[in-house]
Amino acid sequence: MSVFIVHRDKVLLIYHKYYNEWLPIGGHIELDEDPEEALYRVKLHTREHREFRWLSKRELKDPALKLTRSIYFYCLEALKKAAEFHA
């Protein structure tokens, strides 16, 4: 499961050490929980993740992040949907 979490016009991404890239929050869902419950136990695992960042639409354009086209696209879509929801 992967999710794009948006808060205050920023999307949350983690830097995954194994893949060497910025990704949305992800992980597994236990058999006895629903997806929303799984989100609340998400935390930075230092073995797998280097850091996390809340990024604005402008910050997502930073070439230093080296976001894949698909991650960039879905970040923008998540920001757009969140803005529509709160409008």
What is the pTM assigned to this prediction? 0.86
In a domain, 85, yes or no: no
pLDDT of the residue at 19: 93
Q: Cβ contacts of residue 22 below 8 Å, gap of 6+?
A: 13, 14, 15, 16, 53, 65, 66, 67, 71
CATH of the domain at 24: 3.90.79.10
User: Is residue 58 a contact partner of residue 10, using CB atoms and an 8 Å limit?
Assistant: no
pLDDT of the residue at 59: 98
pLDDT of the residue at 71: 97
Could you state, in chain order, the average pLDDT of each consecutive group of 10 residues for the chain (87 residues)?
92 94 88 84 80 96 97 98 90
In a domain, 87, yes or no: no
Cα end-to-end span (Å), the chain: 28
Structural domains of the chain, count = 1
Residue 77 to residue 82: CA distance in whole angstroms = 9
Structural domain range at position 26:
2-80
